[in-house]
Structure 1
Amino acid sequence: METRRKFVQKGLLGIAAAGLAGRAFASAQPENEARTNSAKGFKFDLAIAGYSFVKFGLDDALAMMKRMEVRYLCIKDFHLPLTSTDAEIAAFHKKLADSGVTGYGVGPIYMTKSKEEIDKGFEYAKRVGVKLMVGIPSQDNLPYISEKVKEYDIRYAIHNHGPEDKLYPNATTVFEAVKNLDERMGLCFDMGHNTRDGQDSIKDLERYQHRIFDIHFKNVTAATKDGKTCELGRGVIDIPRFVKTLQKIGYQGKCSLEFEKDMTDPLAGLAECKGYFQGVVDSLS
């Protein structure tokens, strides 16, 4: 069995080789590269959660993604405001396409105050042209959101935020809130925050698989409230076992890296995470 160090080395060497080769991206619709080891039967699309780039403008964020060869982005509203015009949205998509990146979803978007916020969020997702919205709603408005997902045919994934979150601290609280609503309502499964709330994220991945639409892919230093986000191979979550479970359940969504350890300089940490993930997937072939 390969060690974590070998996983990291293998992946980072691949990133470095790709950078030296100076390979350009041809289109925003990736074929083989973005779908990790698709020829070997794996179908895990690695992405970046836009919040990882909260300290950076879009150009810098895309430059980092290009260096890492990660081609999917969950769009945050600090890069594309909810008030954006259709022309601004078109220009945004062109900029992504020019960097070989596809915006696959939007959010997280907070919707805790009014139905008007919900209406604006769904209109925004429709105009952006995505079929996934990550949201943080009030529980009182969940039936209304359920009607909206039917109207717009957009999946709505509620993000769990750990022990500090009084509404949705873990995957179970989200599942219990949506299980009797439209099947397009589910989870943006933040495995790190779930673990910080004392939950078993691997068991929850399998338990709630049919309602997990997106994953904020991360590790944490401890399975307690004091746990901090860290590189994938350095935390308490067994990432190889997690990836094996993804394979077992046939997960079809994105594994979206969200790196919060150093928001002012995320590239090295994100690159290590990508390399480690690639090494894990290679080891399962």
Structure 2
Amino acid sequence: METRRTFIQKGLLGMTVAAMAGTAQGMTQVGLRKQKEDKFQLGIAGYSFVKFGLDESLAMMKRMGVRYLCIKDFHLPFKSTPAEITAFHEKLAASGVTGYAVGPIYMTKSRADIDNAFEYAKRVGVKLIVGIPNKDDLAYISDKTKAYDIRYAIHNHGPEDKLYPNATSIYELVKGLDPRMGLCFDMGHNMRDGQDPIKDLERYHKRIFDIHLKNVTAAAREGKTCELGRGVIDIPKFVKMLRKVGYDGKCSLEFEKDMSDPLAGLAESAGYFKGVQDASA
């Protein structure tokens, strides 16, 4: 027989459970809402999958819930036919993935490499090339961006890079060129060169078209890629700056810690980034 006391206890328990469920649901909705309100999207830099075929790479992306891919030529060769390009995009779509850019592509041998890269991007159907060109060819590339209406983002590679070690070295070269000339901002390499990736994001955001999202173990030449939440870059502050400047491109994880087995590190980094989005105002 149910006494008045047990009746009240059950009622209070039910109210508590309902309140907890409502709070959890509310927190989930707030988190999802914050991610939806962000103008930037999480992606993967194709180089992270350099040792894997397309099917394996897409399977990893599906497990992580990441839907944007910067396309590398080892997944879609430069000489791909229209039929092969169509089949490639269909395979991506079947996994819920969109190819948003091509590269990085090295273009330091001849201007023919530049011409081929723009034709490749046009055939693939993307509006962004990530490239590493010679400085002497920047005006030529600027003319190409106008002719093709395709943006060109130069990638910085840290202190070992004699051409483009950091964001400033690129910005100073492109600031007077066509506005479709800009940066693929590798924040990790920028930090390894002794720069401040958060301040540089604020300084150069109007010319940053793509971001290679990573953390590093030290703000020095010997710094190595590590999982996003384990390095010296303050990722929550970086996300706040993304929002402050209204960045609306991709933040693509590039994980070079273990190229033979990248899934665990990529998944941890993707989860951390989404958690920071949810937790930060």
Which TM-score bucket, shorter chain as reference? 0.7 to 0.9
Equivalent AA in structure 1 for residue 155 of structure 2: H
Superposed CA deviations along residues 137-158 of structure 1, whole A, max 9, x for unmatched, are 0001100000000000000000
* TM, length-normalised to structure 2: 0.88
Change (3 A) 1:90 1:205: same
Distance apart, 1:37 and its partner CA: 4.0
Superposed CA deviations along residues 125-174 of structure 1, whole A, max 9, x for unmatched, are 00000000000000011000000000000000000000010000000000
Aligned to 1:6: none
Q: CA RMSD in A?
A: 1.2
Change (3 A) 1:83 1:234: same
Alignment pair present for 1:58 and 2:35: no
Aligned to 1:24: none
Equivalent AA in structure 2 for residue 245 of structure 1: M
Q: Partners in 1 of 2:267 and 2:180 — Cα distance?
A: 32
Superposed CA deviations along residues 185-231 of structure 1, whole A, max 9, x for unmatched, are 00000000000000001000000010000000000000000000000
Counterpart among 37, 41, 48 of residue 37 in structure 2: 41
Alignment pair present for 1:165 and 2:149: no
Structure 1 SS opposite 2:229: helix
Aligned to 1:136: 132
Distance apart, 1:270 and its partner CA: 0.4
Equivalent AA in structure 1 for residue 64 of structure 2: M
Aligned to 1:104: 100
Equivalent AA in structure 2 for residue 233 of structure 1: G
Which runs of structure 2 are paired with 1:71-150 in the superposition (5 Å)?
71-150=67-146
Superposed CA deviations along residues 224-264 of structure 1, whole A, max 9, x for unmatched, are 00000000100000000000000100100000000000000
Q: Partners in 2 of 1:136 and 1:84 — Cα distance?
A: 21
CA contact (8 A) 1:36 1:46 kept: no
Distance apart, 1:42 and its partner CA: 2.0
Which runs of structure 2 are paired with 1:135-284 in the superposition (5 Å)?
135-284=131-280
Which of the pair has the greater relative contact order for Cα pairs under 8 Å at 6+ separation?
1
Distance apart, 1:278 and its partner CA: 1.1
- Structure 1: which 5+ residue stretches go unaligned? 1-34
Structure 1 SS opposite 2:59: helix
| Greater radius of gyration (CA) | 2
Distance apart, 1:40 and its partner CA: 5.8
Structure 2 SS opposite 1:43: coil
Structure 1 SS opposite 2:272: helix
Equivalent AA in structure 2 for residue 65 of structure 1: M
Distance apart, 1:41 and its partner CA: 2.5
CA contact (8 A) 1:36 1:43 kept: no
Q: Partners in 2 of 1:219 and 1:37 — Cα distance?
A: 26
Superposed CA deviations along residues 76-100 of structure 1, whole A, max 9, x for unmatched, are 0010011111111111001101111
- What's the % identity of the aligned pairs? 76
Change (3 A) 1:266 1:39: closer
Aligned to 1:23: none
Instruction: State how many pairs are aligned.
Output: 251
Q: Partners in 1 of 2:170 and 2:32 — Cα distance?
A: 29
Equivalent AA in structure 1 for residue 131 of structure 2: G
- Structure 2: which 5+ residue stretches go unaligned? 1-30
Equivalent AA in structure 2 for residue 284 of structure 1: S
Between stretches 111-120 and 35-44, larger displacement belongs to: 35-44
Distance apart, 1:39 and its partner CA: 6.5
CA contact (8 A) 1:37 1:281 kept: no
Q: Partners in 1 of 2:203 and 2:43 — Cα distance?
A: 23
Q: Partners in 2 of 1:92 and 1:247 — Cα distance?
A: 33
Superposed CA deviations along residues 35-57 of structure 1, whole A, max 9, x for unmatched, are 97456632220000000000000
